[in-house]
Amino acid sequence: MDSFDQLHEGRVWFFTDAHPPMMAALWGVLDRIVAGPFPMLLLQSGAFLAGLFLILRRALPPRAAAVTAVAILWFPPVLAPMAVIWKDCQMAGFLALGIAAVLSEDRRWKLAGLALFSLATAMRYNAPAATFPVILLCFTWRPMRWYARYPIALGAWIVVTLVAMGANSLLVDREMHFWHSSLALEDIVGTLAHTEPDLPDSELGPLLAPTGVLVDRDYHARLRARYVPYDFQQLVSGEGHLWDVPLRGTDPAPPAQRDAIEKAWKAIVPAHPRAYAAYRADVMADVIGLRRKFQGATVIRHNVQYAGMMAEAHLADIETAFSRTGEDVAMWVAKRTRWFRPHVYILLSLGLLALCRRQRDIGAILLSGLALEVSLVPLVQAPDYRYSHWLVTCTCLGLVMLFARRLRDIGGGA
């Protein structure tokens, strides 16, 4: 759905902030050259693969780096999201290429790396968490002491972030106030679901009724009954939903409703910090795959594609034996192994961090993946695997680079 929304905005050249408008604008430009998803697929895959190769060249010979880069790309937990035109994948491509450029000794490439980081940040709103460790630890304009280098790197990160935010702001034609229609409502319901004892209607009624909630009594019990940590959509769509708010299109919720939702959020969430923390921990347990069954989408198969939207967008609905085989392999890995469970990569990254002393580049890459995952704690609304894709990529890079350097050191010592 996200992809169709952004392709449509790029084609009509009218942007909302429901998704980062920079990606829609980029797609709109490329779509005018070659219509459809292929240019964006080529861009995100090409940038990603080139970035992997250039980063791996720091630890491996050219041929081994090339083979390993392809192997990482084709590793099902890395490849599955990259098959979709998503802001997560565009971000990953620009991040990988940006890391390679920032680690270069050439100042021109360093500046290009910062520009790529800014572009990556414009693709996804929480990307500053991923760029911060890399810029702070790896961006050096010239040799200098730490007390001068770190403030300059911090300033570079701030500029990179502000440029991306400014570019997106300039592109927005209409604000959707998406927080009011999504995370704010989830926070309210999730916090109440973990609040004991139930708050009386005399307290919740004056707060929730102006938000347009579709119940008029037993507010606490009925909101708790609708709470599911891995499914935000059931609050605003489907049978028994609680609010009618826009999640698509170009018309935001009315100002009075937005003001009421914000007022209710401020009255409920900060007043119950333990309940809020318990609810966010509940959501993150699904996000990182701690439950018996991973509830989020992992492999996006052809048979779940929106056929009507494909036709409306004038896109060919093509499936091949090659794509079916790829889907089957990826689904087998997702269902029969734990390689699509993000907590595996969190634990592996933390273990690798303990081993990469004096390996600043590896440490920065691992921290980039972990930091982006941490940013999900207050922000994520659903446990889709794609949100952890960058963590998985960084873990794979860190593992290969650290192993290669250890082998090289052993061989050199021998």
* Each residue's pLDDT tens digit, 209-225: 999 999 999 999 999 99
Q: What is the pLDDT of residue 167?
A: 97
pLDDT at 412 > cutoff 70: no
Q: If we measure between CA atoms, which residue out of 241, 255, 112, 127 comes closest to residue 180?
A: 255
| pLDDT tens, position by position, 4-40 | 999 999 999 999 998 999 999 999 999 999 999 999 9
DSSP string, 356-409: -TT-HHHHHHHHHHHHHHHHHHHH--S--GGGGHHHHHHHHHHHHHHHHHHHHH
Q: How high is the pLDDT of residue 142?
A: 84
Using the predicted structure, report yes or no on whether residue 283 has a pLDDT greater than 90: yes
The answer to whether residue 413 scores a pLDDT higher than 60 is no
- E-state strands within 25-183: none
Measuring CA to CA, which residue among 153, 170, 18 is closest to residue 87?
Answer: 18
Supply the pLDDT for residue 318: 84
CA distances from 71 to 64, 77, 321, 400 (A): 10, 11, 21, 11
Region of residue 358 (left: phi > 0; alpha: psi -120 to 50; beta: else): left
Residues with Cβ < 8 Å from 54, sequence gap 6 or more?
97, 100, 101
Average pLDDT in the chain: 94
Count CB-CB contacts under 10 A for residue 143.
6
Spatial distance between the Cα atoms of 172 and 25, rounded to a whole number of angstroms? 10
Pairwise pLDDT comparison (246 vs 247), residue with the higher score: 246
Angle formed by the axes of helices 21-31 and 2-12, nearest 10°: 60
Cis bond before residue 197 (omega within 30° of 0): yes
What lies within 8 Å, CB to CB, of 348 at 6+ separation is 395, 399
Residue bearing the bigger pLDDT, 156 or 407: 156
- The three-class DSSP label of residue 213 is coil
Q: What is the mean pLDDT of residues 66-94?
A: 96
Task: State the average pLDDT over residues 339-343.
Answer: 96
Question: Alpha-carbon distance 219 to 268, whole Å?
Answer: 13
Q: What is the pLDDT of residue 160?
A: 98
Q: What's the CA gap between 37 and 32, in Å, rounded?
A: 11
- Give the least confident one: 34-43, 290-299, 394-403: 290-299
pLDDT digits (tens, 9 = 90+) for 152-206: 999 999 999 999 999 999 999 999 998 999 999 999 999 999 999 999 999 999 9
Long-range contacts of 205-211 (CB under 8 A, 24+ apart): 207/263, 207/264, 207/267, 207/268, 208/264, 210/256, 210/257, 210/260, 210/263, 210/264, 211/185, 211/243, 211/257, 211/260, 211/261, 211/264
pLDDT at 249 over 90: no
Q: What is the mean pLDDT of residues 285-308?
A: 89
Euclidean distance between CA atoms 347 and 351, whole angstroms: 6
pLDDT at site 317: 83
* pLDDT at res. 134: 97
Domain boundaries, the chain: 2-172+337-413, 178-287
Residue 117 is encoded by which pair of tokens? 């980081």
Encoded amino acid at 191, one letter: T
Three-state DSSP class for 48? Answer: helix
* 272 phi and psi angles, rounded to 5 deg: -135, 65
Q: What gap in Å lies between CA 240 and CA 400, rounded to an integer?
A: 49
d(CA 219, CA 22): 40
At 357, is the pLDDT very low, low, confident or very high (cuts 50, 70, 90)? confident
State whether residue 116 is helix, strand or coil. Answer: helix
Task: Return d(Cα 327, Cα 331) in angstroms, integer.
Answer: 6
Residue-wise pLDDT tens digits, 89-138: 999 999 999 999 999 999 999 999 999 999 999 999 999 999 999 999 99
Cα–Cα dist 95/99, whole Å: 6
Residue-level pLDDT at 145: 87
pLDDT for position 147: 86
Compute the distance between CA of residue 220 and CA of residue 92 in angstroms, rounded to an integer: 41
Residue whose pair of structure tokens reads 């969190």 in the numeric block: 346
Least confident of 171-175, 283-287, 307-311: 307-311
